[in-house]
Each structure stands twice: as C-alpha cells, then as structure tokens.
Amino acid sequence: MTGTRLTKGGRIDRSATLQFQLEGRRFTGYAGDTLASALLANGIRVFGRSFKYHRPRGILASGIQEPNALMTVGTGSRRIPNLPATSVELYDGLVCERQNGWPSVDFDIGSVFGLFARFLSAGFYYKTFIGPTRGSWMFYERWIRRAAGLGRATHEPDSARYDHRHHHTDVLVIGSGPAGLAAALAAGRAGSRVLLVEQDSMAGGSLLDSPIGTDDDQLRSALLAQLVALPTVQILTHTSVFGLYDGLAAGMVERRPVIQGVSAPSEVLHIVRANQIIHATGALEQPLLFGNNDRPGVMLAGAVRAHLHRYALRLGDEVVVVTNHDSAWSAAFDLADAGARVTVVDERPAPNADLLQGAKDRAIAVRVHTVATRVFGSNGVKALEVRDAESGAVARIACDLVAMSGGWIPTVQLTTHGGVRTVFNPTLGVHVAGPMAAGQSIAGAASGDPTDPLKQGHAVGVRAAQALGFSADAGLAPESAWSSVPLMTTRTSASLPAQSKVFIDFQSDVTLSDMHVSLEDGFESPEHLKRYTALGMATDQGKSSHYNGLTTLSALRGQAMGALGTTTHRPPYTPVTVGVLAGRSVGLHFRATRRTPMHEWHMANGVTMIEAGPWFRPWYYRWAGADVGSAYIEEMRVVRSRVGLSDVSSLGKIELTGPDVGIFLDRVYVNGFSSLAVGKARYGVMLNDDGTVLDDGTTARLGEHRYFLTTTTAQAGEVMSWLEFLLQTVWPDLRVQAVSVTDRWAAMSLAGPYARDVLARALPEIDVSNAALPHMGVMERQIGEMPVRIGRLSFSGELAYEVYVPADYGVGMWEHLLAVGADVGIRPYGLEALASLRIEKGHVAGIELDHRNTLRDLGLGKMGSRAKSYIGRALSERSELVDTQRWSLVGLELVEPAGKLRGGAILFAKDEPIQGHGRGYITSVTWSTVHERLIALALYRGGLNHVGEEIVCAYPLRGEQVRARIVSPMFIDPAGERLHA
C-alpha cells in the first residue's frame, strides 16, 4: 500500500495546510483531514503495536470503529492516550505519538511476544496466576504489565476545560445518515423540537463516503439545507451518544475542534432528556477471517472507499477486494476508477450480473467462489493467498492493499442500553433490535431493514412527532436515486480458515485459536467466552469483533446463531474521558461547600480550616500554635482558664411552630419536651426506628408554640428530612410547621470562666446574670434592629453561652465580643479544641453517634422516658440491645507516660492474648489540659462495671500496645460546678 493523495476531490481544503508532528517528525495535512488520513497521506502505514503480541498494525476502519490505530495526542497536561486516529480531527500544531512499542513502534523489541504467542493465549492470566505457577506471576508481573497495554496518560493535573449542558427536547435523533436526516426533517416540520446528533465532524453519515457532486452528496446538501432552515431543529456534530438511560435520557460527549490560541472547553457533556428517541445509527462493516488479517494494509472495504472519497486518498495501487456480498464491489469500482489495479475475490459462486459487467467495464479481475486464506507481508501487504472453494486450488495475488468486507451489522448498542434486547433475524443473518420500548423507534440500516432509509426515517419522524401531539404537515418523504444501502448478509461460518493468526478481536489480540482454547477449557457461552478471552472488551467495545466472535462460536459449537444468545451492550458506546464527566466539579467545586457567616473573618485571622461534611469550619488558629497538635491545647487552656469564642454556625437549626410541637417532640425525642418551660432549653436525644441513637442536640422553647431545635452538623439534613417524613406521612394531623433556619442564624459559643463577664459588658442592654439566665436558660431579645438569641448552653463543660444573631450580623457580633473580651484575654478557638473540651467533659459527639449505639451504650440510659412512647423505644428494648455485655462508653487514662492513645485502638483485658476484635475500641482521644495527660473516650464491653481496671490498647497498624485505666468518661467537673457558676 503506497497511498497517493489525489490532486482533486475529497472533503478536504487543500488551501488550508496544517502542520503537525508525529514523534518529532514534522508533517503537513489539510483542513478536513483526520489524523489517520493525514498520516496515511504522508506514507505512514504502521500506527501502533498490538496489545499482547506487539504485531504492527495499521488502519482497519474509519471513524470511531477503528480498533488498531490508537494514538496519544497532545503534550504535558493535555496528553490524551488511546484516541483512534480515524476520529481525531487534524488541527494545526497537533503533536502525537504511537503506542505500545519500545524503543519505537517501527522497531519494537516487544514483538518477540509474537514468538511466544502460544504462552499468551486465552486464559493465560487465569492459568498462570492461580495454582503452582503463581510464583512466576510475581516474577514476571512488572515485565508483562509494562509490555502489554495501551498508551499512558499524563500524571499532571488535566488543564483542559470541560462543560456540562442540559437539553430538553421533543425528539432526539441519533445519527445523521439518510434515515436520520429524513426523520429529523419530518419531526421538525411536524412542529416538534428536534435535536439531531452526529458523532462525525459533519452531518451525512454514509452519504459522506460518496464523491462530491454525486446523487448521494446532493441529497445530503438538500436535506441539510432544509433542516438548517427549520428553527425547531438543532444539529450537534462532533457529538457521540455514549449511553442511553432510564426516562429517555441520553449521555453524549461533544468533542470541540481544537483551534490554536483559542481557549474553549475541549469537551462538553450533553445530558439530553427527550420525549421521543429515534435511532438512526446505521451499520458497522465487519472484517473477514483469514490468516494475518490484521496486517497493515488490510482494511475494511468501506473504510478504503471512505478514505478515497472523503480524504482523496487512494490507499493502494494493486488492490484485492475480498468479500461475500455486494457492497464491497462499489469500493472496487471506485478504486479502479481512481486508477488502481483491482482484483475482486468473492466467496459467492455467482455474484449479480450487473456487478460482473461493472467489473468487466473497468478491467477488474474477478475470482468467484474463492476465499482469502492468508496475507503475506509483515509491516505491509505483499500478497494475498486465495483458495478456490470448488477445486481447492491455491493462488497468490500480489497486492499492496486488501479491502475486505464480511457484511454489515446494525448498530444496536444504544437500543440495548435502552432496554431493547436484540433478536436474531435469520433472513438477514444478523441480530437486530427487538420490539422497541415506549418512546423509541429505529430507522434505516440500524433497523436491519435494507429498504429505502429515507421513507423509513420520514415515517418514524412523523410518528414520533404525532405521539407528542405535533401534527403540522411533515411533507412527503424525500426521494432520491440514492441506492447504496448497506447489505446485511448471513455470514458463512461453515469453512473457518485453518490458518493461525486469524484475528477476531484486533484490539484485544484475540485469535481464532484463542477461541478454540476457550472452548476446550469449557468456556462456551458468549458471556464466558467474552470474559475468558477478553473478546469485545477493549476500548472499541467490539465494534469490529464481537459479531465475528459470535458467528465463529456458532460455527465451532455447531449451534444456530439464534440459539446462542449474545452478550449485553452497556454504556459507554464510545470511550468517555473522566474529565468530561467531572466537568467543572473539580477542586473546590468537587461538591457544594458551605461557609459560615464569619468565614472571611476566620480566613483573615490566621485560621486553618477543616472540612466537616459540606462545611468549612475553623480547625485551629495560628495565634495558638503553628500546627494543630500544639494549637488546640493552647486554645483549650484559654477556654478553661479565661474565655474563648468559637463559630458554631454549622449546627443544624430547625424552627418548629404550631400548637402540637410539644406532642411532636415528645414522640421524636426519648425525653419529654411538652413539659419544657418557655425560656428553657433541654438536651435531647432521638433514636432511629431500630432503637439506635440517631442524633442529639439542645432544643429551646422560645414561646408557647415555638421551639428552636439544634442538631449536630453532620446529621442536620438527615434530621430535617426525618421530621418532614414524620409530619407529612405519619402524623399529618399534627399542627406543626418545621423550617430549616440553619443559614439564617450565625451562632457562636462563648465559653470559659469569664464568659458572663464578657457577655454582660458586650450587651449591656440585656441582663445575663445567673438569676436572669441560669444554666439551660434561653432568652430572645431585640437590640435595635437586631434580634439576638442567647442560650446558656455548654458543650465544653465551662460556663458558656451560645449567641445567635441573623447571619448578616454574624461578623459584627463576633468582632464585638472579641473586642470587649480583649482585656480578659479572649481568643477564638477552633473545632479541634471544641471537640477536645467535650471529651474532657465526657459528651458524646458524631464519632460516638454512629447509628450502632444505644442510649445505654452512650451512658444516657436514664434519659429515656418511662412515661411515654417515643420513636425507637420498642426496638431499643430488644434483648440484644439491653445486654449488659454490650460495648458502652467509658473514659480511659493512659498509665504509661511515654505511650500514645490512638483513635481506633482495639481494647483487650490486661492478660488477654492480643487477637481478634477485642473488647471494644477507642473513639476519641485528646490531651487533657486539666489532667496533663492523654485521655480518651472508648466503647468497652461491660462499660463502667470495669472502672479502675487496667487494660491494653493495641494498635496493630503500628505494632503498638499501651496500658490504660478505665475511668469515668466525665474527666472534669462531675458535679457541674463550672456550668452553674
């Protein structure tokens, strides 16, 4: 195959020269070229080495079907591997390289694998890496992994931009060949909104493979002109539908053409919700099976013809067209017309007389009833060996290009995604889509019906629009002399070639002999064969292999195609980059984040933030230390000895109003709330239905019919949904309104011995004396325009107040408190100190509230009311949950000064062997500024019955074992004197 760029014709712009590079060599191509056509025009024939055997490979197909010519395109952070060269549009400045060859694709040491092919056959991995030979895997793994494979991606962060777009359309038409164009036109004229999607760079489908000026081409231009004139029709080219999903939703990726110097999204994910979907996805040409059918220079006949007419490339001087049906003859005729010497080899004894006459007119040599047996040549084709099916006589035809065609199969991957199973049609000899699901229809070659695709497309377009109530005049179906319908043929499988190196899956390197091995090993069903040999599992998803695999299996097993079943097609139909799925949801935008009203203040004042669910919360402040380990201890000291201020705005806040709130909360919480006095708050715990603890928090009664409930930061959304569920579905009779007001209020906790002093001076209008605002007291006041809520609530165990102001006043109040408290040494403190102070006080938090613990496990058993029923009560009394040997909350004190207590450490009794799950584990650890040692909260079997015992905390990950003593979890102020001060 020498390849000549013709001086005229094709859909390329010879006036627009594009420069590009292959492995450092500079080439030129034209606008309109693919990377494949440009390289072919420059004489490149070997496009890569195969996956397993490192055989040289060229171009087999055109467009997205190509299995061989996977290339790495781009450099640095824009380096993208495994792109089929046939679907990469050439752009100026493109840099690319071929894959899987070392030191180069042209001279590849890995090709010695070919010599060891019999060791790499089907099931190689399974056989080698299990059983006695397993040791050799350990030895060879790195070597094999390096040798087998595809291109390598960049390790740099992806610098490309990706976007997501959402569409709602009446009719989605997939594919812009004749059937798709006619369908879109009919549906659009009938009045429906139409989205027509084409994966190629131009609309037209198979019409593009005919020369400009022919009937096909004129038909394409005419239909497109009419479509463009319709305001209801949108056409998306460069866009591949990769999956069809429930609810007539389609996922599609648009690959934006690269224009140097222009910053634009490189890919766009389109998510389309359609009311009707029309599949006009055409058909895929299939290879024939003969020895060395994978050599560079053996191509699909349709691809040869497409390259001739679209890219003005005559890819051979001496061409053999080998086929078993009519469609490949047009490639033979066109090649002969373009000046090539052509031989046609047809498996059929008596092809159509018109074809024979056409061949005669063009001086094409014809061999009928003849099959190809093998190719000679390694980096290119030297000759094709053929065998007369009748006489058995073997002949060798010198050639530089073999154009083969084993028939076309309908492209039904997407209909399968949509839940439509394929069925074997014995008349056509292929699988076609079964009865279409509601809202979907199929037309043209994709349907398997070889009659006029224009009529078919028109009919389904009209029907789709009518189904949605659009009944404007759709006009008549377009007419044309166009007649190049792809022909479906029953693939003859009676005479499988005896040759070795008959490739069925080019990309996975699966040969006919691999299929023999698979069957010998007992993997006989299509699903088993696929997994044992990897047939059809490569990045091309078997577009040019899975069907040959199936027909071969049918022949080998002597079982009819219809009885064999097929494998299931799943998304994606074409490869999708992770980048486009992520879109702009990367980095900080990975997910929604929430910031408290004081966020900017923290940032400006030396905070280190920590993510707590969606929230950014202050972790520690630099005033206290350079790292969290030293800072949180300083912050704790300030709270215990003076006063600290902490941002607690992320707590979930729910306002409950209505006459029945008290009754509602009595049912939701284990303890009572209808008895709560106005102006008081109470700590409450709620259970899941299964009796485990769901969440805790304080709830204040602000008025007769008004309560203010707080949740933990982590469970805020969960609790809100739960309350809404109960109110809407279980007790719709209760007169209660629940509104989330988390974002409405800024909340801060003022804690420490000087807390009241600071608060009283900061808000002189309000009496916050012990008498006016005792422990668990709550008040609502108005200072000028600003409402303020103050609750005397403590998480730290110190004298503490929670101050709530509307979000907009948050920073003002925060700065005011800090300013007023400056003379007594007030400091902001973060989440680490907050969480450590509560450990000293023995308060449980998120880490202990893990939906596995009961009230009793957490030392809260006495809270459960005996007088009323509440959610979770029945199941909390299951025998398993009241077992006194359950793991329950204890405190731990380290007894060896040099050791470390670690969260997650497994606990064992003193002289017990260190194995298994132990008797519990450490949940939370902190340095105690009060006791000047490490303390922890833990869950331990039998809990506080073991107070005073020495136990072992094992941390197997680091091989550590330290001794600790079980103590009360209330490390400070057991009598609550600080709280009530």
Q: Where do contacts with another protein occur on this chain (CB under 8 A)?
A: 245-247, 249, 271, 273, 419, 437-438, 667, 689-690, 717, 721, 724-725, 728-730, 732, 869-871, 873-875, 877-878
Strand pairing category for 318-323 and 341-346: parallel
Strand order in the sheet with 401-405: 298-300, 401-405, 318-323, 341-346, 365-368
Contacts for 606 with CB less than 8 Å, ≥ 6 apart: 621, 622, 623
Residue placing its CB nearer to another protein in the complex, 231 or 732: 732
Query: Taking the complex as a whole, how short is the minimal distance between the CB of residue 874 and another protein, in angstroms?
Result: 4
Owner of token pair 């000679």: 376
Alpha carbons 874 and 703: distance in angstroms, whole number: 31
What does the block give as tokens for 819? 């300013």
Alpha carbons 490 and 623: distance in angstroms, whole number: 80
Query: Taking the complex as a whole, how short is the minimal distance between the CB of residue 243 and another protein, in angstroms?
Result: 10
Which DSSP symbol is given to 886? Answer: S
**Contact in structure between 830 and 617 (CB atoms under 8 Å):** yes
Query: Taking the complex as a whole, how short is the minimal distance between the CB of residue 409 and another protein, in angstroms?
Result: 26
Residue placing its CB nearer to another protein in the complex, 605 or 674: 674
Residue placing its CB nearer to another protein in the complex, 389 or 437: 437
Strand pairing category for 693-703 and 706-711: antiparallel
Query: Taking the complex as a whole, how short is the minimal distance between the CB of residue 740 and another protein, in angstroms?
Result: 9
Q: Is 951 helix (H, G, I), strand (E, B) or coil?
A: strand
Residue placing its CB nearer to another protein in the complex, 689 or 743: 689
**Contact in structure between 52 and 111 (CB atoms under 8 Å):** no
Query: Taking the complex as a whole, how short is the minimal distance between the CB of residue 880 and another protein, in angstroms?
Result: 10
Alpha carbons 104 and 632: distance in angstroms, whole number: 57
Residue placing its CB nearer to another protein in the complex, 379 or 865: 865
Query: Taking the complex as a whole, how short is the minimal distance between the CB of residue 172 and another protein, in angstroms?
Result: 13
**Cis before 572 (ω within 30):** yes
Q: How many CA atoms lie less than 13 Å away from 586 in the CB half-sphere?
A: 15
Residue placing its CB nearer to another protein in the complex, 136 or 675: 675
Residue placing its CB nearer to another protein in the complex, 160 or 875: 875
Residue placing its CB nearer to another protein in the complex, 438 or 867: 438
Residue placing its CB nearer to another protein in the complex, 263 or 869: 869
Residue placing its CB nearer to another protein in the complex, 13 or 877: 877
SS3 content of the chain, % helix, strand, coil (to 5): 30, 30, 40
CA 822 to chain CA centroid, Å, is 51
Q: Where are the alpha helices (DSSP H) in 857-907?
A: 873-876, 879-882
Query: Taking the complex as a whole, how short is the minimal distance between the CB of residue 437 and another protein, in angstroms?
Result: 8
| Phi and psi at residue 370, to the nearest 5° | -135, 140
**Contact in structure between 412 and 422 (CB atoms under 8 Å):** yes
Alpha carbons 125 and 533: distance in angstroms, whole number: 10
Alpha carbons 891 and 871: distance in angstroms, whole number: 29
Query: Taking the complex as a whole, how short is the minimal distance between the CB of residue 832 and another protein, in angstroms?
Result: 31
What does the block give as tokens for 741? 């007001």
* Host H or E run for residue 687: strand 680-687
Residue placing its CB nearer to another protein in the complex, 140 or 725: 725
Alpha carbons 426 and 428: distance in angstroms, whole number: 6
Query: Taking the complex as a whole, how short is the minimal distance between the CB of residue 577 and another protein, in angstroms?
Result: 20
Query: Taking the complex as a whole, how short is the minimal distance between the CB of residue 733 and another protein, in angstroms?
Result: 10
Query: Taking the complex as a whole, how short is the minimal distance between the CB of residue 724 and another protein, in angstroms?
Result: 6
Residue placing its CB nearer to another protein in the complex, 246 or 896: 246
Angle 97-100-102 from CA coordinates, rounded to 5°: 90
Query: Taking the complex as a whole, how short is the minimal distance between the CB of residue 275 and another protein, in angstroms?
Result: 10
**Contact in structure between 314 and 337 (CB atoms under 8 Å):** no
